[in-house]
Amino acid sequence: MSLKGTGTMLKWLSKYACIFYLLTLSGLTFLFCNMNILEWNYNCPLGLCNIQSEDPPPLERKQTFCSHLDKEPSAEEALEELDLLESNSWPGPPHQLTSIPIEKTSDPAHSLFVILPAEGGRMRQVGDQLEARVIINDFKGNPKSYGGDFLLARLHSPQLGAAIAGQVLDHKNGSYSAFFPLLWEGPVQAEVTLVHPSEAISVLRRLREERPDRVLYGSMFRSGLISETTMCNLCLPTSEQPVCNYTDILTGDPWYCYKPKQNLSCDKRINHFRAGYQNDLLTHQETILFQSAVNIKVRIHATGSDSVTVLPNDKDKPGAEDIFVWSRPGWTTPSGYYYQWLWRGLGDVLIREYNDPAAITQCLKGKMVYMYGDSTVRQYYEFLTRFLPELKEFNLKTPARAGPFMAVDIGNNIMLKYRSHGPPISYIPLSIIQLHYIANELDGLVGGSDTVVIISIWAHFTTFPLEVYIRRIRHIRRAVVRLLDRAPETLVVIRSANLRGQSLKECPIVSDWFAMQLDRVLRAMFKDVKVLLLDAWEMTLAHHLPHNIHPPHPIIKNMINTILSHLCPEVVQN
């Protein structure tokens, strides 16, 4: 047997053995065998590594990030983590990137999509599904032979203000299918965008696993007249310098700073801030994969028409009611769609429009609303404090973006609070006294029918391996479950990640691909918990407004409509 054959066989055996153990033996064995997979991929036994360029891409790293610095997960948790990592695995080029010339990478200008004809050539009706086939070609116009391109698809009717997110399926041979549910009558137009070529995804994946230091964090230590600033992160190479351990005692979330060289002990740390970004992240060849207007978020053109006309459904009575029965087995239904640019959820709660401050006040009367996370949840705080005249902001004299913030309407007994999540929050200097983990905050809430909790935590996690996010969300989920156990009437809203603007500079730090992976993890981890999942991903994907880390006002308004409609399900009388 050739060397290559042996290597493949060994890999296959360790994988097969692992599945066997998984099915039959205990969690302990499982962890042990998981480590074996790692060894074959990451060590280079017998110099086998150089054959990997011909093999399928290696399994994604299953090793936990900073595992030597964090609590050991239970067998059940480790299994969930493995599942999440597997379901987020992403196909990539079968060759090493350095061996792929740029002209052989995916080029949206040479790629195309075609709307497939309906079965039997009949006209499409409300309730049907539209499929578009996407063919990705390289810069020479030759079809790609492997998958892994990151595509987005939406279907819209500009004249109706209607739009919905499409679902993209990777056939792993250079072709993709985009599926769109047809939920309204009239002309509809499909739109397909290449966010990143698969070769760029390989770069992003490498950065995520190998360079969790892409955002730099610092802290100042001070005592009397002595002060010193050192670097901090979730994980620091400990061999270089002694570290201070700020791992949270309750949640176990890790955080470290280098110990000051001067005579300053670890408890003299006073603040936390973003110290900048790494800028030596991409090689010259890699930067060619991230060119605005060339291969970052560029539309793919249709061959033939990009539009079809949707007729009323002739089986049942026509109209909007039909949408509620739309579903396809084994398919994640979209969570909603826009009509006249108003978001209509496909769940069982009717989403109403709140145009009048009095109606919002009526709904929030007697409520305490706690918002935790990053600036994408702070937008709701800002929206409400601007929109409701009776809601007065209490000046806590905290930093502009980081907060915490508080607003009250004494007459209607409404309180709004915003607090940012703990490290790795990346803002201007923030007192370490304000660095609170969401899980610990939730453990401090009594909860009940007058309590609303809104959580959005994703934007500051894009630079870390998925395991970091999985662990953070696990701690939050446990706290949400405890809260709902003691106060089942509490409304807990989990806001998902959203799309944002992308450029060469931003991609290595905040690519939508990173956010998409976090988003999938978040959905999967909360799917069995009684929370409202606010689908910011689809709401920004479907909308015609440009992608922005802080979605523009009309989208925020639709998100507020969604939250309030769930909080006050019966019609509000003015």
Ligand X SMILES: *[C@@H]1O[C@H](CO)[C@@H](O)[C@H](O)[C@H]1NC(C)=O
User: Is residue 432 a contact residue for ligand X (CB under 6 A)?
Assistant: no
Residue 161 and residue 69 in contact, taking contact as beta carbons nearer than 8 Å: no
Residue 154's identity, in one-letter code, is R
- Measured distance CA(415)–CA(366) in Å, rounded: 8
Which residue, 171 or 392, is less far from ligand X as judged by CB? 171
Which residue, 167 or 189, is less far from ligand X as judged by CB? 167
- Measured distance CA(31)–CA(157) in Å, rounded: 51
Give the range of 120-128, 167-175, 287-295, 516-524 binding ligand X by CB under 6 A: 167-175
User: Is residue 355 a contact residue for ligand X (CB under 6 A)?
Assistant: no
User: Is residue 431 a contact residue for ligand X (CB under 6 A)?
Assistant: no
Q: Pattern 259-298, binding to ligand X, x per CB under 6 A? A: ----x-----------------------------------
Which residue, 237 or 319, is less far from ligand X as judged by CB? 237
Which residue, 133 or 352, is less far from ligand X as judged by CB? 133
How many CA atoms are closer than 13 Å to the CA of 414, on its beta-carbon side? 21
User: Is residue 175 a contact residue for ligand X (CB under 6 A)?
Assistant: yes
Which residue, 72 or 314, is less far from ligand X as judged by CB? 72
Residue 62 and residue 82 in contact, taking contact as beta carbons nearer than 8 Å: yes
Give the range of 168-176, 351-359, 369-377, 511-519 binding ligand X by CB under 6 A: 168-176
Residue 190 and residue 129 in contact, taking contact as beta carbons nearer than 8 Å: no
- Measured distance CA(363)–CA(387) in Å, rounded: 14
User: Is residue 173 a contact residue for ligand X (CB under 6 A)?
Assistant: yes
With CB under 6 A as the contact rule, the residue among 8, 29, 129, 247 that binds ligand X is 247
Count of Cβ atoms closer than 10 Å to residue 316 Cβ = 12
Which residue, 25 or 116, is less far from ligand X as judged by CB? 116
In the complex, the smallest distance separating the C-beta of residue 233 from ligand X, rounded to whole angstroms, is 13
User: Which residue bears the tokens 């007192």?
Assistant: 431
- Measured distance CA(522)–CA(473) in Å, rounded: 7
In the complex, the smallest distance separating the C-beta of residue 69 from ligand X, rounded to whole angstroms, is 5
User: Is residue 245 a contact residue for ligand X (CB under 6 A)?
Assistant: yes
Closest CA to 446 of 414, 492, 487: 487
DSSP, collapsed to helix, strand or coil, labels residue 249 as coil
Residue 333's region, left for phi above 0, alpha for psi from -120 to 50, else beta, is: beta
Instruction: Give phi and psi for 393, each to the nearest 5.
Output: -80, 130
User: Is residue 69 a contact residue for ligand X (CB under 6 A)?
Assistant: yes
In the complex, the smallest distance separating the C-beta of residue 437 from ligand X, rounded to whole angstroms, is 13
Please, which residues have CB within 8 angstroms of residue 397's CB and are 6 or more apart in sequence?
none
User: Is residue 171 a contact residue for ligand X (CB under 6 A)?
Assistant: yes
In the complex, the smallest distance separating the C-beta of residue 245 from ligand X, rounded to whole angstroms, is 4
* Number of residues in the chain: 574
In the complex, the smallest distance separating the C-beta of residue 269 from ligand X, rounded to whole angstroms, is 15
Which residue, 171 or 301, is less far from ligand X as judged by CB? 171
Give the 3-state secondary structure of 83-98.
Answer: HHHHHCCCCCCCCCHH
Q: Which residues pair with 170 in a beta bridge?
A: 176
Which residue, 263 or 395, is less far from ligand X as judged by CB? 263
Tell me how many residues contact ligand X (CB under 6 A).
Answer: 7
User: Is residue 52 a contact residue for ligand X (CB under 6 A)?
Assistant: no
Residues within the interface to ligand X (CB under 6 A) = 69, 171, 173, 175, 245, 247, 263
